Amino acid sequence: MQSHHIVRAYDDELKYLTRKIAAMGGHAERLVDQSVAALVNSDTSLARKVIEDDAILDQAQREIDDKSILIIARRQPVAADLREIIGAIRIAADLERVGDLAKNVAKRVVAVAEGRQPVSLFRGLEALAELALTQLKEVLDVYASRSVERIEFVRARDNQIDAMYTSLFRELLTYMMEDPRNITPCTHLLFCAKNIERIGDHATNIAETIFYVVTGDQMPADRPKEDKSHHVTLPVEHK
Amino acid sequence: MQSHHIVRAYDDELKYLTRKIAAMGGHAERLVDQSVAALVNSDTSLARKVIEDDAILDQAQREIDDKSILIIARRQPVAADLREIIGAIRIAADLERVGDLAKNVAKRVVAVAEGRQPVSLFRGLEALAELALTQLKEVLDVYASRSVERIEFVRARDNQIDAMYTSLFRELLTYMMEDPRNITPCTHLLFCAKNIERIGDHATNIAETIFYVVTGDQMPADRPKEDKSHHVTLPVEHK
């Protein structure tokens, strides 16, 4: 009976971690969604809410870290259980960063709102955010279901996100060259786009961690990189 | 005798982690240094070397992760030893990101070299990089010496880095407005500056991890944030 109780308590501890990660994932999705909505609608009060709510993710990460270390010390797990706990620490770190990136988008709402951007720019940014959010959602679904056979989609979509980001980068540079009044707001939009692209990277990191947790193997290191924005240069037309 | 051998082997394993982190730190410093030198001197072959050498850090992180998990499973450490190992995993992740950021600077060397920037811009970037590198070096010194009482300097300097980055951000926007030919190269420089500022953040993360490893406590969460670049907007002068 005694050992049965211990196993049960241990199992509950592991489930606590999984639930806490799922809750963090839900918060992270909401912050990303709201930060982009705040940007597109110049909604400074929603932006403020995102900036405040990021603290929820910081706090959750600390709790997961503390709890994980406590479980390792108390239960001395090996193999799959140990990977589960190390995985929780890693995924919590990625989700905490996703929150930071959403906060960073929210912080730029005021600077962007001071200019008047073409609607197409916001459409591009919304499409990018939608792709990144779908990525994050699916990765969290894979975490919940442990169906790692679905994980390959993640890298394919990460490449799509990078390609879309590069095209948005080019478009933003074009607007900046057309009119110097666009420079400040478009620079902030460039950073917003980069932040959203990074959210996709963190979703990919999480996918790799899940693969490791479930299989005990690392996914191969080199993946094709489609973010070509660092090569983008535009010719200047003199009027 | 037997248990003496085991303790000795365990001790060697922990020392292996510490040495490996120190080596990663050295590589990371070199990559940051070389990426900025490549940028300032338009040295594309040095840039290529940085991009290639980043793989060393990726590989080192995997080794540290694998070894850490092996040690936890085999030795079932608690308290300070467990914190030491979890700390190694975290610091390796930060150093791997520093390598990515240096690689990202190196990737922009070609795009920046196509324009002709005022010397003062490069001076500003070099000064920022120097501060970030000093930060990284001192943090790695604290890791080697475990003298956490020196750790407060880290946050103070992180604020300095953020303030310098914000002023560089403003300067870069000004150049972009002065001449549309500056827009493309200065945008890439903006991202380089942001990458260097992020290196400072990772150094600060490492400091926080060391504090946790040595004391068992977390440093308080909220620190003042001096990166005000997201508020920067510039009035446009019409000629």
Q: How far apart are CA A229 and CA A167, in angstroms?
A: 8
Residue B137, pLDDT score: 96
Q: How far apart are CA B223 and CA A206, in angstroms?
A: 27
B236, part of any domain: no
Q: Residue B104 and residue A230: Cβ atoms within 8 Å? A: yes
B101, part of any domain: yes
- % of chain A exceeding 90 in pLDDT: 75
A238, part of any domain: no
Region B14-21: mean pLDDT is 95
B119, part of any domain: yes
CB pairs under 8 A between A and B: 99
Q: How far apart are CA A185 and CA A204, in angstroms?
A: 29
Q: How far apart are CA B65 and CA A214, in angstroms?
A: 16
For residue B75, what is the nearest residue in chain A, using CA coordinates?
A76
Q: Does A75 touch chain B (CB under 8 A)?
A: no
What's the pLDDT band for B221 if we cut at 50, 70, 90?
Answer: low
Interface of A with B in 140-179 (CB under 8 A): 173, 176-177
Q: How many CB atoms lie within 10 A of CB B151?
A: 19
Rounded to an integer, what is the distance from CA A140 to the centroid of its chain? 11
Residue A149, pLDDT score: 87
Q: Residue B187 and residue A187: Cβ atoms within 8 Å? A: yes
Residue B144, pLDDT score: 94
- Which residue is it, tokens 């070099």? B126
Query: Cα A77–B214–B23 angle (5° rounding)?
Result: 85
Q: Residue B231 and residue A78: Cβ atoms within 8 Å? A: no
**pLDDT of B46 over the 80 cut:** yes
What SS3 state is found at B218? coil
Q: How far apart are CA A188 and CA B194, in angstroms?
A: 12
pLDDT (tens digit per residue) in A85-144: 999 999 999 999 999 999 999 999 999 988 777 778 889 999 999 999 999 999 999 999
Q: Report chain A residues whose CB lies below 8 A from the CB of B78.
A: 73
Q: Is residue B102 within 8 Å of B55, Cβ to Cβ?
A: no
Q: How many CB atoms lie within 10 A of CB A180?
A: 19
Q: Is residue B36 within 8 Å of B103, Cβ to Cβ?
A: no
Q: Is residue B233 within 8 Å of B170, Cβ to Cβ?
A: no
pLDDT (tens digit per residue) in B64-99: 999 999 999 999 998 899 999 999 999 999 999 999
For residue A131, give how far its alpha carbon lies from the nearest alpha carbon of chain B (Å): 23
Q: Does B221 touch chain A (CB under 8 A)?
A: yes
Best probe of the B interface among A39, A69, A223, by most B CBs < 10 A, is A69
Q: Is residue B135 within 8 Å of B200, Cβ to Cβ?
A: yes
**pLDDT of B224 over the 70 cut:** no
Q: How far apart are CA A99 and CA A54, in angstroms?
A: 6
Q: Does A111 touch chain B (CB under 8 A)?
A: yes
Of the candidates A189, A190, A30, A195, the residue with the CA atom closest to the CA atom of residue A113: A189
What's the pLDDT band for A67 if we cut at 50, 70, 90?
Answer: very high
Question: Which stretch of A189-198, B46-55, B177-186 has the lowest confidence by average pLDDT?
Answer: B177-186
State the average pLDDT for chain B.
91
B238, part of any domain: no
Rg (CA), chain A: 20
Q: Is residue B18 within 8 Å of B70, Cβ to Cβ?
A: no
What SS3 state is found at A115? coil
Crossing angle of helices B44-75 and B79-107, rounded to 10°: 160
A26, part of any domain: yes
B237, part of any domain: no
User: Which pair of structure tokens corresponds to residue B55?
Assistant: 């793989």
Q: Report chain A residues whose CB lies below 8 A from the CB of B73.
A: 77-79, 82
Residue B236, pLDDT score: 62
Q: Does A37 touch chain B (CB under 8 A)?
A: no
CATH code of A211's domain? 1.20.58.220
Q: Which conformational region is residue B234 in: left (phi greater than 0), alpha (psi within -120 to 50 degrees), or beta?
A: beta
User: Which pair of structure tokens corresponds to residue B132?
Assistant: 């970030």
Beta strands of B81-170 (E only): which ranges?
A: none
Phi, psi (degrees; rounded to nearest 5) at A216: 85, 0
pLDDT (tens digit per residue) in B139-171: 999 999 998 888 888 888 999 999 999 999 999
Residue B223, pLDDT score: 54
Domains identified in chain B, total number? 1
Q: Does A69 touch chain B (CB under 8 A)?
A: yes
Q: Does B4 touch chain A (CB under 8 A)?
A: no
B41, part of any domain: yes
Domain ranges, residue A76: 2-231
Q: Is residue B50 within 8 Å of B102, Cβ to Cβ?
A: yes
